[in-house]
Amino acid sequence: MINIFIGYDSKEKVAYNVLSHSIIQNSTKPVAITPIALNHLKDDFVRERNSLSSTEFSFSRFMIPHLMNYQGWALFMDCDMLMFEDVSKLWRMRDDSKAIQVCKHDYIPKEKTKFLGQPQTAYPKKNWSSFMLMNCNKCSSLTPDYVNRASGLELHQFKWLEGDHLIGDLPLEWNWLVGEYEHKDDVNNVHFTKGGPWFEEYAKCDYSQDWFKNLEESNGSGV
């Protein structure tokens, strides 16, 4: 079973549903998809949201190893993505010598704001944590207590690991940043990091036609 956790935000419900559909439609192996929803984590995740948290799952994503009882592997994905490839191909890339595997972006955002006027902050390792293969038994530092009190940079820059040698590489095509990278046909998964087609101002962004096609299919009208 491929364990997939998707960040859930009440402002982007449709994004969660369409991403889930695209994963299921393209996978050739069974998947278990779980939303990282704050109302499911009330007993353990008590951290208050701050002004720099652009989504409801900005920090709660780091609860995944705890939810997995620090056993096995899990994939985390932001909800503002669209899968084009069979996720089982990614699953076969797991490296037991690593604690996490990510797409190691090296860029500075082109704009200072993103969807809903949220600030587009720049920092080292930006967007690495938006798509993570997590080797949960090597992520034991991510206790609920630590996730609740650690700074945003400590979490998103993986300061909870012994060193960067525990961070494995994934091809950028698994987290292709729409609007930051040039259009490419043979991508595996795109990330509407600035804002997705479900927001009116981004309805015609790159890959929007693919997203709307999946929306129709997920509603039962495109089958």
The one-character DSSP state at 15 is H
For 55, the token pair is: 């989504």
Can you give the pLDDT at residue 125?
Answer: 87
pLDDT at 219: 87
Which of 87, 124, 130 minimizes the C-alpha distance to 106?
Answer: 124
Query: Which residues are CB-neighbours of 78 under 8 A, at least 6 positions away?
Result: 6, 7, 55, 57, 130, 131, 191, 193
Ranking 10-19, 46-55, 67-76, 200-209 by mean pLDDT, the lowest is 46-55
Domain ranges of the chain: 2-218
Which one has a higher pLDDT value, 115 or 68?
Answer: 68
CATH number of 2-218: 3.90.550.10
The pLDDT value recorded for residue 126 is 85
* Residue 100 reports pLDDT greater than 90: yes
pLDDT tens string 1-43 = 999 999 999 999 999 999 999 999 999 999 999 999 999 999 9
Quick one: pLDDT at residue 223?
A: 40
Decide if 205 contacts 137 (C-beta within 8 A).
no
pTM of the entire predicted model: 0.91
> Which tens digit of pLDDT belongs to each residue from 119-168?
556 667 889 999 999 999 999 999 999 999 999 999 999 999 999 999 99
pLDDT value at residue 222: 45
CA atoms within 13 A of residue 39's CA, in its CB half-sphere: 3
165-210: per-residue pLDDT in tens? 999 999 999 999 999 999 999 999 999 999 999 999 999 999 999 9
